[in-house]
Chains A and B, each alone.
Chain A
Amino acid sequence: MADSTNPQAFAARLEKLAAAYSKRLADDFSHLTMLAGQLEEDPSCTQSLQQLHAALHSLAGSAGTFGFVQLGRQAREQELQVAQNLEQPCNDKQPLPVFEWITALQKALKTDESKKSAIRIETSRAESVGGEPVIWLVERDTMLAEYMVQQLHSFGFHIRHLLNAEALADDKNSSPDLLLIDHRASQLEALRADPVTFWQQHLKDFTCPVLFIGSEESFTARLNALRSGGQSYFVKPLDMINLASYMAQLIKTKDTVPERVMVVEDDEELAQHLQGVLEEAGMHVTVLDRADALFEAMHDANPELILMDLWLPDVTGTEMAALLRQVEQWAQVPIVYLSSHFNSELRDQALLKGGDAFLEKPIDPDLLINLCRSRVKQRRKLEDTQNRDSLTGLLKHASIKEALDYQWQLTQRKPQPFSVVMLDIDHFKAVNDTHGHAMGDVVIAAVGTLLRQRFRSTDRLGRYGGEEFTLVLVDCTADHAERMVNNLREDFAAIQFTGGGNPFACTLSAGVVDNQHFPDDTAESLLNRADQALYQAKNSGRNRVCLAID
């Protein structure tokens, strides 16, 4: 820094500029809102899309400099989506949820403002490529690395290969979502002398999970990996499916689905306060201020937890709870009462009628967040053991059908495209006969991992039975679904299974249908159409995806 400059004065000037910038943001937001309006009228208007792209690009490039880091990042993500949308042919454009985006931007701005962050940007940023998690593989054996890159790519991981541990220090500007490291990935003497210190030193700047791989199956190798900061140690030859599944779980747990909470409260200010606190903690919150709209609101928001005011006009919270408990679908949703008139008799009565916990007003924000989080977590865990298939982690037969019914009912009230996919492993019986049932299970588990890796957390993925799978893809037309399933099919075909030493590959066939082409269909008949399309894919040679036709 030049001697003539007083750093404090400089910082003060920067702060003034940042204040001026945040005023300008108001104009930027109204510009975005205007564009959102135009795009709602005509989602494929190229001119509006280009303007939107330019506006988001400018936000992405400038916000971080003034300390609005989240805002800049959010804008960057959206900018990429607009860029993708612009590349699509006109008749194939999906409308972009620009109004939702603006809300997200405003929320990010709020977060930034609340942090009152000093003016600087973060030096490391995950370099996710199109949303795919980025893995850095440190492996000296280039042949093995090439094979791993190809195999893991099939599972939807973007792999960057580094030749040795020294290369980890080369790129200071980006960071991976996960590190996969051969524990002998350097010829430096320091590694041989003291591997634990060596790796601790080389990994000190990384915050992501680390997995070690190596050819030694020994207690020392595992212990060293653990002490070096590794979450696990995988022995070569690597079981790629097992490894991919482990990696998928490690990465997935980082971006969990937001908890859906409904606040039933007629005090508008309190409701807004609760909503603010919970949204700040990353949850989705809906507020209901009228008791008589309860069932509709439940349908729309499908909450995982209800915060219920004990005293509403005309009806008590306990009565509301009792009503919910009468409907099977909602009988299990946890209810937490909010009350200022707190006494033990009332509490027992309320708990007896189907409440799960009490919170006394004024409500402690931390307690509120923790309580909501832990209740939803418990609930999800319970649901998972009841509804999920243990081999694949996908929904069981009954649950995927239920999910389809739910989606169908939702779109009856709020029109939105969704697709149903039936998917089946080709010649699966031959896999079982040739390689044994254990190997057959591996193939099924691989499909499960691949599906969970490839689709959004809002999509519903199920194992329909045996080697058959059902997907319900939300906000997705059949054309789009066909493309995605086709990519999945190609990736699956590239996965090498090694059964008893003989490597083999499997293929998939699939049938796809969406609700827009068949608006009069019931959920059941959509499923039948997807099944017929699957049958057609099988009949016309397998290893393909067919669309349902009239």
Chain B
Amino acid sequence: MDTLKRVMYVEDDDDIRLVACMALEDVGGLTVKACSSGEQALRDVEAFAPQMFLLDVMMPGMDGPSTLLELSRQGYITEATAVAFMTAKVHPEEVVRYKKLGATDVIAKPFDPMTLADDVRSIWKAFNGRLN
């Protein structure tokens, strides 16, 4: 299993994006490409080549699910790419729906900045465990 390094993070809320980046970079030691919209993610994905996507679900314009659909339509989601949605709605039915869309897991909002990186890593681990 490759170690997780590059995470692309799409979130429209500036404050949340800032705090999550800090959590992932400073606490988790990850390299993060933060995007404020799905559109930006689609522009920057080629150059950054992320191993994992973190997508906010509700965003103006392109929301998380449609960003995921477009990313995979354009071939950026491979068997080795993990995807996690971040959302305040974590009803079991919703989680099932997101997983059907191709998400590996769902991270509940509000998240704890101190443990966010751990959560992301354990999703990555579980995802790779499933592959092997």
Contacts and interface: CB of A to CB of B under 8 A. Distances in A.
A136 to B, nearest CB: 14
Nearest to B15: A21
Given A14-B22, A20-B15, A61-B16, A54 B112 contact: no
Interface stretch (A2-10, A195-203, A338-346, A466-474): A2-10
Interface stretch (B1-9, B25-33, B45-53, B68-76): B25-33
Contact of B22 (A13, A24, A76): A13
A158 to B, nearest CB: 12
Contact of B109 (A1, A5, A24, A62): A62
B15 A10 contact: no
A239 B88 CA distance: 39
A1 B58 contact: no
Contact of B110 (A1, A17, A65, A173): A65
Given A14-B113, A72-B110, A120-B114, A1 B15 contact: no
A34 interface: no
Given A21-B15, A61-B16, A66-B15, A10 B110 contact: no
B19 A65 contact: yes
Given A2-B28, A54-B60, A120 B15 contact: no
A123 B112 CA distance: 9
A14 B88 contact: no
A64 interface: yes
B119 to A, nearest CB: 11
Contacts of B114: 119-120
A63 B19 CA distance: 12
Nearest to A6: B26
A60 interface: yes
Interface residues of A, number: 29
Contact of B112 (A58, A65, A72): A65
Interface in A14-44: 14, 17, 20-21, 24
B26 to A, nearest CB: 5
Contacts of B58: 54, 57-58, 61
Given A65-B109, A65-B113, A1 B18 contact: no
A121 interface: yes
A134 to B, nearest CB: 12
Nearest to B87: A61
A62 B27 contact: no
Contacts of B108: 173
Given A54-B58, A66-B15, A119 B113 contact: yes
B122 to A, nearest CB: 12
Centre residue among B22, B90, B114 by max chain A CB count within 10 A: B114
A397 B13 CA distance: 55
Contact of A10 (B26, B29, B109, B112): B26
Contact of A2 (B19, B29, B87, B112): B29
Contacts of A24: 15
A5 B112 CA distance: 17
B15 A62 contact: yes
A37 B110 CA distance: 28
Interface in B84-126: 86-88, 90, 108-114
A76 to B, nearest CB: 6
B117 to A, nearest CB: 8
A411 B19 CA distance: 49
Q: Identify the 8 closest CB pairs spanning chains A and B, nearest first.
A: A64-B110, A2-B29, A61-B109, A61-B88, A65-B110, A60-B88, A62-B16, A21-B15
Interface of A: 1-2, 4-5, 10, 13-14, 17, 20-21, 24, 54, 57-58, 60-66, 72, 76, 79, 119-121, 123, 173
7 contacts: A14-B19, A17-B22, A21-B15, A57-B88, A61-B88, A62-B110, A65-B111
Given A10-B22, A10-B26, A61-B109, 15 more contacts: A2-B27, A2-B28, A5-B26, A5-B27, A14-B22, A17-B15, A20-B15, A54-B58, A60-B88, A60-B109, A62-B16, A65-B112, A76-B88, A121-B110, A173-B108
